[in-house]
Amino acid sequence: MDSSPAGSSDPGNVGDLDGMGASGDLDAPPDLDDLDALADLDARIAGCRACPRLVAWREEVARTRRAAFADQTYWGRPVPGYGPADASLLIVGLAPAAHGGNRTGRMFTGDRSGDVLYAALHDVGLASRGTSVSADDGLELYGVRVTSPVHCAPPANKPTPGERDTCRPWLVRELELLRPTLRSVVVLGAFGWQAALPAFAAAGWTVPRPRPVFAHGARVSLGAQDGPSARSVELFGCFHVSQRNTFTGRLTPAMLRDVLRTAAGAAGLTTRPYDG
Ligand code: SF4
């Protein structure tokens, strides 16, 4: 199975993970101003090693693997955002899953959360297929990009505030590069919400004070800081597509489709009615 995400460097293998730290690897997010293409950012992020705890965890998981995936080569590195560089709708999650994105090398790919998210995107006409199993499965997103404020899989799905802050420059640069086309954002869960607001402020949008509180269905306009001709973005809150939320019915497919359809409308994207 090819687990190399499109646009990123070769995933190597478990043996290669032992040798990481050689040329191309980064002990901290570098000065990212020189990166003026999203594909370059996506490729560069895969070499980041700025968070020792997360580096150790992602590589340990890649070595030991889950029994069901024992014959697969895990990606075991930071997972870049996925979707076109001229996306007008951005979906912001939390962090890659240990045996999902950390295995396949693509956001929300290879786990139950991704199944829910991409099924909903396909239902409303924003994805070419409703499943996301590997980086080479042919999935295309239409006007939509998916990213996260933390790009490495954390133990227990819980990055620390320090890790969130260390990873922020990657999200800020991603937002800056998307800025010419970005019109709306769906943030999945409170952690993503709290991480995204300062990133938007750093990337050139005005975040209201006091900071808006996360809620499912929340909608906030973030004005552009640099003049009336600059475009604002609409920020939407949505419960995370975690198994806990979807198994308990806290977030239903219909609720997710509703948020995606509203956010797509704010982004000027055309969706289709869902009749399933
Ligand atoms: S979480 Fe972000 S900053 Fe930390 S090592 Fe991964 S990519 Fe680098």
| Chain segment 65-122, per-residue pLDDT in tens | 999 999 999 999 999 999 999 999 999 999 999 999 999 999 999 999 999 999 999 9
Structure tokens at 41: 């950012």
Confidence at 226, pLDDT banded by 50, 70, 90: confident
Give the per-residue pLDDT at 119.
98
Ligand 1: residue of 167, 174, 191 to mutate (most ligand atoms within 8 A of CB) is: 167
Q: Is 24 exposed, middle or buried (0-12, 13-18, 19+ CB in 10 A)?
A: exposed
Residues 252-265 as b/e (b if ≥16 CB within 10 A, e otherwise) read: eeebbbbbbbbbbe
Any ligand 1 atom below 6 A from CB of 151: yes
Q: How far apart are CA 258 and CA 189, in angstroms?
A: 16
Give the per-residue pLDDT at 11.
34
Name residue, tokens 């994207």.
269
Give the per-residue pLDDT at 148.
98
* CB neighbours of residue 158 within 10 Å: 11
Mean of the pLDDT values across residues 247-266? 98
Q: What digits encode the pLDDT tens for the residues 17-64?
A: 333 333 457 666 667 777 789 999 999 999 999 999 999 999 999 999
Q: What digits encode the pLDDT tens for the residues 171-222?
A: 999 999 999 999 999 999 999 999 999 999 999 999 999 999 999 999 999 9
CA 110 / ligand 1 centre spacing (Å): 20
Can you tell me whether residue 206 is helix, strand or coil? strand
Q: What digits encode the pLDDT tens for the residues 120-159?
A: 999 999 999 999 999 999 999 999 999 999 999 999 999 9
6, pLDDT greater than 70:
no
Give the per-residue pLDDT at 228.
54
The domain limits of the chain are: 14-266
Any ligand 1 atom below 6 A from CB of 51: yes
15, pLDDT greater than 60:
no
Q: How far apart are CA 15 and CA 3, in angstroms?
A: 15
Mean pLDDT computed over every residue of the chain: 89
Predicted model pTM: 0.90
Atom 6 of ligand 1: nearest residue by CA position: 152
Q: What angle do CA 129, 132, 138 make, to 5 degrees?
A: 60
Percent of the chain that is helix, strand, coil (3-state, to 5): 35, 10, 50
Q: How far apart are CA 246 and CA 253, in angstroms?
A: 8
Mean of the pLDDT values across residues 231-254? 97
Q: How far apart are CA 201 and CA 146, in angstroms?
A: 19
Atom 4 of ligand 1: nearest residue by CA position: 51
Q: What CATH superfamily classification does 14-266 receive?
A: Uracil-DNA glycosylase-like domain (3.40.470.10)
Q: How far is CA 164 from the centre of its chain?
A: 13
Q: Long-range contact list for 21-28, CB < 8 A, 24+ apart?
A: 21/49, 25/49, 26/50, 28/166
